Amino acid sequence: MHITADDLIATLRINGLRITDARRAVCGVIARSHGDHLDAATIHDRVNRDLGTDIDLSTVYRTLEALEEAGAVRHAHLGEAAVYHLSEEQPHQHLVCRVCGSTTALPASDLTGFLASVENLTGFVADVEHFALWGVCSDCAPR
């Protein structure tokens, strides 16, 4: 069962947003984004390509905000801009290489030991996906 553009459009409608061609196109781009890390500017470009027009970037932001408030998408920070995941994607930690810029996804389930020690030591419940871990990937590490 994958989230479809129609599911996202229904979510917007339930939340009282008027369904415009632009919002419909934003939903279409996000529904196709499985595993991609799309920021608002990239979503904007794809929507403009799909519609053959130039929609307002603020429409993209407002649509993403409404979808996030409704729990249909969530965001993470890999670098400057926030990227968006469908809520059905498994939570994961992003490992970003500061040399080549590549991103590796590590399932949150592989970090249960680390998360348990953080919580035991401090009582802090970490949201592993929200911010990326920066470092050097195996290709770029000096050997």
Shortest distance in whole angstroms from residue 18 CB to Zn ion: 27
Burial environment of residue 27 by CB neighbours within 10 A (0 to 12, 13 to 18, 19 or more): buried
Token couple for 56: 């307002």
Instruction: Please pick, from the candidates 19, 41, 81, 99, the single residue that binds Zn ion as defined by CB under 5 A.
Output: 99
DSSP for 13-73? HHTT----HHHHHHHHHHHT-TT--EEHHHHHHHHHHHHTS---HHHHHHHHHHHHHTTSE
Shortest distance in whole angstroms from residue 50 CB to Zn ion: 23
Shortest distance in whole angstroms from residue 60 CB to Zn ion: 16
Nearest CB to Zn ion, comparing residues 19 and 107: 107
In 3D space, the residue among 106, 15, 108, 103 whose CA is nearest the CA of residue 64 turns out to be: 15
Q: x-or-dash pattern for Zn ion, window 122-141, by CB under 5 A?
A: ---------------x--x-
Shortest distance in whole angstroms from residue 79 CB to Zn ion: 12
Nearest CB to Zn ion, comparing residues 100 and 116: 100
Residue ranges in 58-97 that form contacts with Zn ion under rule CB under 5 A: 97
Sole window of 12-20, 63-71, 99-107, 113-121 interacting with Zn ion (rule: CB under 5 A): 99-107
Instruction: Please pick, from the candidates 100, 106, 116, 133, the single residue that binds Zn ion as defined by CB under 5 A.
Output: 100
| CA-to-CA dists, residue 9 to 57, 58, 72, 122, angstroms | 18, 18, 10, 41
Contact positions vs Zn ion (CB under 5 A): 97, 99-100, 137, 140
